């Protein structure tokens, strides 16, 4: 196996890992959002036991963190995954 093929396999493995992490984070976001919608009162009361927080602050915190995680997931996992796949596709066209 030459170095170019070895690098392609490594990039393919990296794309698989990054894509998997993206999907895991997407599932986490979906679960968090569904729990936030379906069990809002339960979540609020669980957190209100430990922290002094009103409903408005609780909602803002959750919406903000869900949005932040969404942006981080896209920026650090989806875009690199797409970039690696595009690079591998271009290399495959050039060699083959």
Residues near 53 by Cβ (< 8 Å), separated by ≥ 6? 47, 61
Residues near 82 by Cβ (< 8 Å), separated by ≥ 6? none
Q: Which two tokens mark 56?
A: 């408005």
Identify the pLDDT of residue 69: 98
Identify the pLDDT of residue 13: 95
Q: What residue spans define the domains of the chain?
A: 3-95
Say yes or no to pLDDT of 1 above 60: no
Residues near 87 by Cβ (< 8 Å), separated by ≥ 6? 11
Identify the pLDDT of residue 52: 96
Q: What is the pLDDT of residues 56-86, one digit of tens each?
A: 999 999 999 999 999 999 999 999 999 999 9
Q: What is the pLDDT of residues 10-61, one digit of tens each?
A: 999 999 999 999 999 999 999 999 999 999 999 999 999 999 999 999 999 9
């Amino acid at each position: 196996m030459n170095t170019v093929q070895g690098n392609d396999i490594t990039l393919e493995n990296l794309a698989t890992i990054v894509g998997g992490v993206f999907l895991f984070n997407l599932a986490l976001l979906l679960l968090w959002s569904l729990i936030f919608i379906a069990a809002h009162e339960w979540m609020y009361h669980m957190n209100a036991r430990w922290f002094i927080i009103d409903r408005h602050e609780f909602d803002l915190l959750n919406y903000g963190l869900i949005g932040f995680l969404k942006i981080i997931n896209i920026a650090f996992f989806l875009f690199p995954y797409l970039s690696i796949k595009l690079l591998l596709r271009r290399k495959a066209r050039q060699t083959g």
